[in-house]
Amino acid sequence: MRASAAAVWRFCRRKPLGAAGGLIVVGLVALALFGDRIAPYDYDETIAGARMRPPSARFWMGTDNLGRDVWTRVVFGARVSMTVGFGAVLLGTALATLIGVTSGYFAGGYDTVVQRVVDAWQAFPFLIIVLSLMAVLGPGRLNVILALGVAGAAGASRVIRSATVAVIGSAYVEGARALGCGHLRILARHVLPNVAAPIIILATIGLGSAILAESALSFLGFGVPPPYPSWGGMLSGSGRSYMYQAPWMALWPGLAISLAVYGFNMLGDALRDVLDPRLRGTTGGPIR
């Protein structure tokens, strides 16, 4: 416990921006967990006589065209972003690890076939394949997680595969094999712990991309269905025509998305520098 606290303190001293990112992440998780206690109203509660009020002491992010408190909806929106983000990354990372580690470890014909499939999968632009999957699966939070997880796995599996290839060339894996260890034991005890660093980094940076992608899906109307608030959804739909009279409706959800993605990007960047400097320059591309 003392040792890990010291490690966190050292990380904060060395990477202040990364620590700031970590703080944002902790704040967002807290919003998502304790949303119903933090938010002053219910997420679809219409407050009588408070339609499109500008930010004030009572509604400090204003109210929307249906008289709902924007701050309340931003708080509940964090739930969608966090559950979808963590869910998609958990699924995507598990898939990517399975594909990447086995492909790198078993090599040969299996590797060739798997890599050609990954090639093909990567030929689809991320948002295009996610949208097409959503057309097939239909809207809903679980389906968004499924689509984002499956679509994101291919790229990450590449990095994990090359890390695995580097690990299995090492003397300790050769030694384990000479001692008669089975594949499962070598994979679990020797390969996985040594490719953990890139996996953690990919997952952290992937969280930012997943949140961005979820918000884009909701913005286009294929994410979490209303009236449950999601940040992307709050920027789209019926509210769009009211933004000319109530610009705060367009401001806060966008700021929330940017802050969340910024937090995960900064944390991921710093983790990468500390854990594995070889991965420099692998920060996600634009998904918008």
* Binders of other proteins in range 54-73 (CB under 8 A): none
Cβ atoms within 10 Å of 103's Cβ, excluding its own: 23
Separation CA 96–CA 101 (nearest Å): 8
What distance in Å separates the CA atoms of residue 198 and residue 93, rounded to the nearest whole number? Answer: 11
Among 261, 267, 270, 279, binds other proteins (CB under 8 A): 261
Q: How far is the CB of 264 from other proteins (least distance, A)?
A: 9
* 250 sits near other proteins (criterion: CB under 8 A): yes
DSSP for 27-56?
A: HHHHHHHSHHHHSSS-TTPPPTT-TTPPS-
**281 φψ region: left (φ > 0), alpha (ψ -120 to 50), beta (else):** left
Between 169 and 281, CB nearer to other proteins = 281
Binding test (CB under 8 A) with other proteins, winner from 126, 148, 199, 223: 126
* Nearest alpha-carbon partner for 242 in 58, 74, 40, 62: 62
Helices (H), 58-140: 70-106, 108-122, 126-137
Residue 234 sits in the site that holds other proteins (CB under 8 A): no
Does 139 bind other proteins (CB under 8 A)? Our answer is no
> Does the protein bind other proteins through residue 86 (CB under 8 A)?
no
- Decide if residue 152 touches other proteins (CB under 8 A): no
Conformation bin of residue 183: beta by default, left when phi > 0, alpha when psi is -120 to 50: alpha
Asked if residue 238 binds other proteins (CB under 8 A), the reply is: no
**How many Cβ atoms are within 10 Å of 67's Cβ, its own excluded?**
16
x-marked contacts with other proteins along 105-124 as a string, rule CB under 8 A:
-----------xx-xxxxxx
- Binding-residue total with other proteins (CB under 8 A): 54
Residue for token digits 């997680």?
145
Rule CB under 8 A: choose which of 63, 72, 102, 265 binds other proteins.
Answer: 265
Tokens 């952290």 map to which residue? Answer: 204
Compute the least distance from the CB of residue 87 to other proteins, in Å.
19
Which residues in this chain contact other proteins in the complex, by CB under 8 A? 116-117, 119-129, 131-137, 208, 212, 215-216, 219-222, 232, 235, 240, 243-244, 247, 250-251, 253-254, 257-259, 261-262, 265-266, 269, 280-281, 283-288
